[in-house]
Amino acid sequence: MRQLYRVWFSTMSAVLVSTALLGCSSGSNSGGSSAAGDTSKSRGATSSTGATTPMAPTGKTGPTGPTGKTGRTDTTTTPPAAQGDWGTLSGQIVWGGKELPPVTFINVDKDQAHCLGQGQIPREDYVVNPKNKGVRWAMVWIAVDNEGKADVKGKMPTHPRFERVSPAKVVLDQPYCRFEPHVLGIREGQILEIKNSSPIPHNTNLIGGALNPTLNVLLAPRTSKEITGWKAAVPPVPINCNIHGWMRGYIRVFNHPYFAVSDADGNFKIENAPVGKFRLLVWHPEAGWVGSDKNGKELQIKPGTNDLGKIALTP
């Protein structure tokens, strides 16, 4: 009898221990993190419907990585930049000649009633402010530094503000028989709307070279045409009007938003540029490359304000 009691006691003890262990294991899985970690944190939070919410991106230069394209990070030609490392470039393009260029006017020999509706049309070869020698219509931009050369197609970090191409459309108008603006910058992905707000027809002739659109289109009064397919390139795209031969304009295309055209005082500003070593390029339709060649000059962009001072344009 005593022997049977010992066997029964041992069996019941084993059952009780097993039950307790199973209860502890069940409680750890339902109320906290397991030894392997909380899977809702490591693989995305799961909603009550079973859908998984992806984790936030872990890139250091913004929500879509340094190239500004979701899911892709190209580090081959991209200068280093950390989140929040952005600077503003500013400066002034000034006349470097001994004497200011004289103001001359175009010989308008066609559609004079409209073309001269706001007075004579000054030539835009060199537009210089006599008060401060500021030069208008100079294009200023930065490019990736690839062993001392400007890499026009190199990918650079893009500030979150500029990740979406905006505005979607850029307008080039032809009021009073002149292209406005005279020099225009376009970012890849933007649409160029060539507009004719005049009461007379205009002919727009674009010579895009190997990469950009080439077309010769007649625009009736109060009409416009949209042009897509712009690609970053070294040469500019000249614009002419075959009806009014004095009408000329220029387009430059970039794969980033870091470009500007000097205003009536020669001033320019490029905001939220990435910090690091780049190439600074300045180009003018008449003078060509300003202070350098197509590879520009080395530029170290620092966080915050970067005052580039006066940049002399010598004809």
pLDDT at 135: 98
Domain ranges across the chain: 86-163+178-186+230-313
pLDDT at 81: 54
Cα–Cα nearest to 94, from 142, 125, 127: 127
Q: Are 281 and 274 in contact (CB under 8 A)?
A: no
Q: pLDDT tens digits for 214-270? A: 999 999 999 999 999 999 999 999 999 999 999 999 999 999 999 999 999 999 999
The identity of residue 183, as a single letter, is V
Q: How confident is the model at residue 84 (pLDDT cuts 50, 70, 90)?
A: low
Whole-model pTM: value is 0.74
Res. 59: pLDDT tops 50: no
Both tokens assigned to 287: 């003078």
Res. 11: pLDDT tops 90: no
Q: Are 35 and 41 in contact (CB under 8 A)?
A: no
Mean pLDDT of the region 83-95? 91
Q: Strands, DSSP E only, in 200-289?
A: 202-206, 215-219, 223-227, 237-240, 248-254, 259-261, 267-274, 276-284, 288-289
Q: Compare 59 and 223 and report the one with higher pLDDT.
A: 223
Distance from C-alpha of 196 to C-alpha of 204, rounded to nearest angstrom: 10
Q: pLDDT tens digits for 90-99? A: 999 999 999 9
Res. 75: pLDDT tops 90: no
Q: Are 121 and 246 in contact (CB under 8 A)?
A: yes
Distance from C-alpha of 224 to C-alpha of 228, rounded to nearest angstrom: 14
pLDDT at 15: 39
Residues contacting 156, CB < 8 A, separation 6+: 66, 78, 79, 142, 144, 256, 258, 274, 278
Q: pLDDT tens digits for 21-34? A: 334 334 333 333 33
Both tokens assigned to 160: 């979150």
Cα–Cα nearest to 59, from 38, 47, 74, 42: 74
Q: How confident is the model at residue 82 (pLDDT cuts 50, 70, 90)?
A: low
Res. 72: pLDDT tops 80: no
What average pLDDT is seen over the chain?
A: 81
Q: pLDDT tens digits for 132-190? A: 999 999 999 999 999 999 999 999 999 999 999 999 999 999 999 999 999 999 999 99
Q: pLDDT tens digits for 274-302? A: 999 999 999 999 999 999 999 999 999 99
Q: How confident is the model at residue 36 (pLDDT cuts 50, 70, 90)?
A: very low
Distance from C-alpha of 239 to C-alpha of 192, rounded to nearest angstrom: 13
Residues contacting 262, CB < 8 A, separation 6+: 92, 93, 134, 135, 136, 137, 138, 139, 140, 268
Residues contacting 129, CB < 8 A, separation 6+: 135, 136, 264, 265, 266
Superfamily of domain 86-163+178-186+230-313: Immunoglobulins (2.60.40.10)
